[in-house]
Structure 1
Amino acid sequence: MQIPTLIDAIANRFEVPPLIKLTVAGVTEDVPPMLDLSYEELGSKLVNFAWSRNVIMEFRIIPSSYADGFSSLIEQLRVQHLVYAESGEALVINCHMMLHYIPEETLSDFPGSKSNPYSYESSCSSMSSFRTTFLKSLRSLDPTIVVLVDEDADLTSNSLESRLRSAFNYLWIPFDAVDTFLPRGSKQRQWYEADVCWKIMNLIAHEGLQRVERLEPKIQWIQRMRNADFRGISFAEDAISEVKTMLDEHAAGWGLKKEDDDLVLTWKGHNVVFASAWLPV
């Protein structure tokens, strides 16, 4: 849904057909939510949609894994000359609901790993966590802008009791929202509830590297980005207004608020998802 919206916005700004190069991390693990669509099919649909809007799109898939901090994706972005800054091209990195899959363990904790998967990154030691290393590697690519969107919850504790308490205070939201919008027995509702059930099983049944999804609150990601030499920037007022209008018209119960430079999507006043934008320092 994001990319067609972006295509429409860009198509209305230029007389000469603009070029979008979309590179996606073809995640090799099965993690919810699962799309009933291959990366290749998705790319074909997006390229055709872009063509219908007089926008040229190139679509690339780079097989990558969250388990090693998407190191193969970073390496490919580094060695392939995908962006030509001298021609006015911009490198935009969109981290959308994916970084909470990256392990928090240090590189030295990675099982069976005799070498640093980020060996090309001199600033990354074996004692750095995969999340820290990933963000430092993003910074080394000197992107034009980085967008970070994720769930605003803390499910990282090593204590099962603490995780259960945090999950209870957060995961009532998707169940409450689904009761509002989707009828019982519908296929979409079953898919949605299966995703939430996976989250619960993941945080209860698994420890260490086996616990795939570990959400961190917004304040922790903000500190991580600052430590990686990024600075936050605000969203434009017209963009905020457009999102609020969409929510008012189509999504009763959902709201949007601004916290410093960031935007937070809320359900009945409770924080659910945050969106932030960053520039290299």
Structure 2
Amino acid sequence: MMPLVKTIPPHPCSPILVSIKMLRAQMIVLNKVAVFENSPLVPHLFSDIKSVKQIKQGFPSGSNAFFDWESNQPVPPEPKETIGEVVPKVPKNGNTLNGSRGQKNHQDRDNDYTEEGRRNKHPAVYVEEPEPTEMFDKVLLFQPTVTSVSRAPHEAAASQNGGNEKTQKNGRSKGSTGKTTRSRKHVNKEIVDLSTLLTQCAQSVAGNDQMTTTELLKQIRQHSSPYGDGTERMAYYFANALEARLANQTPLYMPVASNEYSTAEILKGYQVYISASPFKGMSDFYANRTILKVAEKAKRLHIIDFGILYGFQWPCLIQCLSVRPGGPPKLHITGIEFPQPGFRPAERVEETGRRLENYCKRFNVPFEYNVIAKKWETIRLEDLKIDRDGLIIVNCMFRLKNIPDEMVAMNSPRDIVLKLIKRINPEIFIHGVVNGSYNTPFFLSRFKEALYHFSSLFDMFDATVPREDQHRMSYEKAVLGRDAMNVIACEGLERAERPETYKQWQARNLRAGFRQLPLNLELFNEAKRRVKLDFNKNFVIDKDGQWMLQGWKGRIIHALSCWKPTQE
């Protein structure tokens, strides 16, 4: 019988045990690195977002809708998760709506304006799945079950969504400037004025005072949050932008969304926006009705759309043209956009053309589509394939703000585009603008104006959409936070958000050789009636001269007017 052998455990410092410990440590580090690389730093705006309208077909079941569009009645919301559990789902690569990657890239940039942009790596091309037709129809076409048969969901938008209960007691602020009152939050009996703290922080950033900036940012961080009220959320994103500017970071910004996400996903986010505010819906309503009136007897209609992107404005028009007395005209749309980065700069705009072609086939409207994806100031008249025997209309909704102006180029690209439109000689030029004063080259002045402008937008969402709503948080992060980052952190060509006031645009249009057409009071009054009927009482729609103005609590956010080239 063999003697028992006593097993002696290895010494803690033995070579074998040390090697095993080192191997385990390396595996842990590698696992952490893999998790970090695959973790989404900036959630995509439209990832895994449910519809805000009660769509019975085409959307996933269990939609967290808060308004039934067919019955025009509020739908009780599903039980909300706690704020701490509300985390938007995102793609594994961590890309935002416009292809930016990581927290440092809150913005994208139209890289075609800089040589540096050509050296950037671009995300893989999104493989587009078949679009759910019924979902698009619910949002973009006239619905006979709505109160008025002539009322489309994307024009009438949604109801107040319980907004009256959330409306601030003080109602509309006084004064023509509409500057919102600075928020004072009671935290541990301490009065915190976030607007003042942000302004002081911007002053220290301008003076490159890192010590003071760090201390002020610390205070702002303590009282701001992406889950708080409107002012707290705005302060959170403005603090991010100030921090990026102090660190000399210039996040990329691109006015065109990348093709990494499907248009169906984009449409869901579009619904969130149009249900919260009337700005887009009423602008499209006025523009489309104007086109129908002007082209009442036209046999051929050519619409040149500067900034067409997904073309959500046009399915309603196509549907209306199909029932026009005497039959529809031959519709020719030229879709103009900024080029996408990568090897297929016109892919998204070509996809828009295919979608519009399908609508024209369904409604028996003869259709032709032309794509232009290049820097707008480089477009030549012959690129537009103009048929002088047809009626020509130029449409541009809120996108000329992304064109560089005379502050960054000797020959202003903005004026070059307007002169091109004049050479087109359209029957009418429909011009929608974002009314903003934060295009000054002086940082502190620009910051203060941006503070007033974005405070209105965050306050608007706070009064119309529940704070814990995941869709609202995603939109604020990927759109409002992204734009604020570009305005505050970027300079020169990197700053693509360059809005002007509607009065500045009026002077610019007049210099370019246009005359302003009278405001259609019938359409204006109908839009005003719809806003009063369907939206929070703090939304305003007014007119100044021949401009239709839209705003929140007295502050004008959007403006629209129609123009015609002067005859020389």
TM-score normalised by length of structure 2: 0.41
185 and 39 in structure 1: CA distance in 2 versus 1, 3 angstrom threshold:
farther
> CA shift at 1:80, angstroms?
4.2
> CA shift at 1:201, angstroms?
0.8
Aligned residue for 1:22, secondary structure, equals strand
Partner of 1:276: 561
Alpha-carbon distance in structure 1 between the residues aligned to 2:556 and 2:413: 26
Counterpart AA for 2:555: H
Establish whether residue 63 from structure 1 lines up as the match of residue 369 from structure 2.
no
Instruction: Map residues 1-281 of structure 1 onto 2, 5 A cutoff.
Output: 1-29=312-340, 38-65=348-375, 70-72=376-378, 74-75=379-380, 78-80=381-383, 82-86=385-389, 89-105=390-406, 127-193=410-476, 194-252=478-536, 253-281=538-566
Alpha-carbon distance in structure 1 between the residues aligned to 2:355 and 2:464: 27
Alpha-carbon distance in structure 1 between the residues aligned to 2:468 and 2:332: 40
Alpha-carbon distance in structure 2 between the residues aligned to 1:40 and 1:187: 31
Cα pair 1:83 1:90 within 8 Å, conserved: no
> CA shift at 1:137, angstroms?
2.0
Counterpart AA for 1:209: L
Alpha-carbon distance in structure 1 between the residues aligned to 2:399 and 2:327: 34
Question: CA offsets per residue over residues 35-65 of structure 1, 9 Å max, x none?
Answer: xx93333333322223333322323221123
Aligned residue for 1:240, secondary structure, equals helix
Alpha-carbon distance in structure 2 between the residues aligned to 1:167 and 1:271: 13
Alpha-carbon distance in structure 1 between the residues aligned to 2:439 and 2:361: 43
Question: CA offsets per residue over residues 250-276 of structure 1, 9 Å max, x none?
Answer: 222322111111100121222110001
Unaligned runs of 5+ in 2: 1-311, 342-346
> CA shift at 1:29, angstroms?
4.9
Partner of 2:289: none
Alpha-carbon distance in structure 2 between the residues aligned to 1:23 and 1:185: 41
Aligned residue for 2:564, secondary structure, equals strand
Question: CA offsets per residue over residues 160-195 of structure 1, 9 Å max, x none?
Answer: 100111011111121112123333344431342021
> CA shift at 1:130, angstroms?
1.4
Counterpart AA for 1:257: D
Cα pair 1:103 1:212 within 8 Å, conserved: yes
Q: Which has the larger radius of gyration?
A: 2
Alpha-carbon distance in structure 2 between the residues aligned to 1:50 and 1:243: 27
Unaligned runs of 5+ in 1: 31-36, 111-126
The percentage of counterpart residues that share the same residue type is 28
46 and 186 in structure 1: CA distance in 2 versus 1, 3 angstrom threshold:
farther
Cα pair 1:182 1:188 within 8 Å, conserved: no
176-185 or 130-139, larger mean C-alpha shift: 176-185
Alpha-carbon distance in structure 2 between the residues aligned to 1:148 and 1:203: 23
Over the aligned positions, Cα root-mean-square deviation in angstroms equals: 2.2
Counterpart AA for 1:44: R
Alpha-carbon distance in structure 1 between the residues aligned to 2:470 and 2:340: 24
192-201 or 46-55, larger mean C-alpha shift: 46-55
188 and 60 in structure 1: CA distance in 2 versus 1, 3 angstrom threshold:
farther
Cα pair 2:321 2:328 within 8 Å, conserved: no
> CA shift at 1:95, angstroms?
1.5
Cα pair 1:156 1:216 within 8 Å, conserved: yes
Alpha-carbon distance in structure 2 between the residues aligned to 1:11 and 1:247: 27
Higher relative contact order (CA 8 A, sep 6+): 2
> CA shift at 1:11, angstroms?
3.1
Partner of 2:147: none
Counterpart AA for 1:93: V
244 and 136 in structure 1: CA distance in 2 versus 1, 3 angstrom threshold:
same
